Structure formats: structure tokens, C-alpha cells
Structure 1
Amino acid sequence: MDVVIPRRARRTHSEAFKQSVISACSVPGVSVAGVALANGLNANQVRRWLRERGVEPPCRCAREAVSLAPAAEARFVPVALVPGAEPRPVIRLDVQRGEARLKLEWPIEAADACGAWLRQWLA
């Protein structure tokens, strides 16, 4: 009896694929790890491809300073509510009796019916 041990085959990628990944990494603000993940690769593999081709990986730590306009003063902004769109109050119960577990939402307007049903269920 011959025992064959399966060997893990290395994946090979075409040069065109490698160049497309490298060019995607050269876009400002893009992370090498993000490009690698999107292409099903390990980030270290992509960094090696960059290093082998003499491409400088983008440095995310030395970004150019971005000047921001001064923030506007915070103020109250009124919001118009649509009539009838308010959330209706409900009775929420989480009851366990033996092996039975019950999660219940009941309209607050029918609280008396909820109480009667709950008394009957627990009896």
C-alpha cells in the first residue's frame, strides 16, 4: 500500500497581476495591507514584490499636513417631527418558565390584556 502525503502547492501569480497590485499600492492614502487583503494576498508578500522591483511603499505616517477651515460654532438645529412617527411605547417581557422561554412585546394601550394573559400563562 502506497501512502501519498498531499503537499501544499505554492500559488504563482503572473507578472501582470503583480504589476496591477503594485500600481494599486502606489495610490496616495491606500494601505498595502488593504490592497493585499482585497486581492487575497498576504501583505508581506506584496511588500516583498514592492521591494524586489525597487518601488518605495507608501508611507502612511508622513502625510502632508492638511489645513482645515475653522469649525463653525456649534448651534441648535431644530428638527421637525412627522406627526404619528413617534415610537409607540410597548411592554417588553423576557419570561422563563421551566424550559419555555418567552420574549414578548405588547402595546402599552392593551396593558390590562397583557396582564391577564400573563397571569393565565403563569398559572
Structure 2
Amino acid sequence: ARELTREHPGLPFRIGFHASPSLQQMHMHVISQDLLGSNMKHKKHWNSFISPFFQDAESILAQLCSEGQVTVADYAVAEGWLKADLRCHRCEGNFKNMPTLKAHVTVCKAPLKALDTANQLH
């Protein structure tokens, strides 16, 4: 993560976990907040990083320390987050598809929403 911040100064990154993991092994995500990576192609993928489906590392660590385990989100709740409308994570504009959303994100000047600044690397 620190190498990424050196390579991309000024671009904030978030560190965290998906509320309903896609793999058996626990794994952490480090993602830039421009969300313009070439692999960001699908609505579910986008929503997995801009909704409560993305759990910041600090909250997961606190849960692990206090409870000795991590609670996985209820399936129906998690699916609701993933199937939500496509929205810009800056201005909350609503978009019909990923190409129009990504084109918008490249020019959107709205400030980043304060999702959880404790787990953003600057």
C-alpha cells in the first residue's frame, strides 16, 4: 500500500474487506478511490467498493479483537448492496451502465464522500 501511495501521490486508497467474501481465505483489498482500474467492469464489482459491502480494515480488526471472529453479512443484505443502482461515489449521480459511469467519474469534481477516513492512505 505504501508503494502505491508513492507511485500515485495525492490519490487516496482504502483498505478493507468485502462483507461477504468471494474466497474461502480472508483477504484484504487495497483500492484507489478513483475506482478507474481496468478491471472495474461490472455493476456488482463497482458496488462492492462503494457501498457498506466494503468493510474498512479498522472496523474488521476491532470486531476480530473484541469477538474473536468476523461476522459475514446476511446474504440478502449483501445482495441488496451489490444490486443497488450505479451511483457516482463522489456526487451520487445515477447511471445506467458502467461505461457512462466511468466516463463521468473521470470528470466529476465533487469531493470524495467521507466513507471511513481512518482507512484511507494518502
TM-score of the pair, normalised by structure 2:
0.17
Larger-Rg structure: 1
